[in-house]
Amino acid sequence: MSYPLGAIYHVPHGEANHVMFAEIFKVYERINPDGQIKELNKFLGHLLECTEDKVYEQIEVLLDKLIVKKSLSEYGVNEKELEEFTDNVMEKQGRLMVNNYVRLDRERVYDIYKSLYK
Q: What is the pLDDT of residues 32-63, one digit of tens each?
A: 999 999 999 999 999 999 999 999 999 999 99
| The CATH number fitting domain 3-117, selected from 3.30.56.10, 3.10.20.310, 1.20.1090.10, 3.90.190.10 | 1.20.1090.10
Q: How many CA atoms lie within 13 A of 47 on its CB side?
A: 11
Predicted TM-score (pTM) of the model is: 0.90
Backbone φ and ψ for 49, nearest 5 degrees, come out as 55, 50
Q: What is the pLDDT of residues 108-117, one digit of tens each?
A: 999 999 999 9
What is the pLDDT, as a whole number, of residue 33?
Answer: 95
User: What is the torsional sign of CA 19, 116, 112, 33?
Assistant: positive
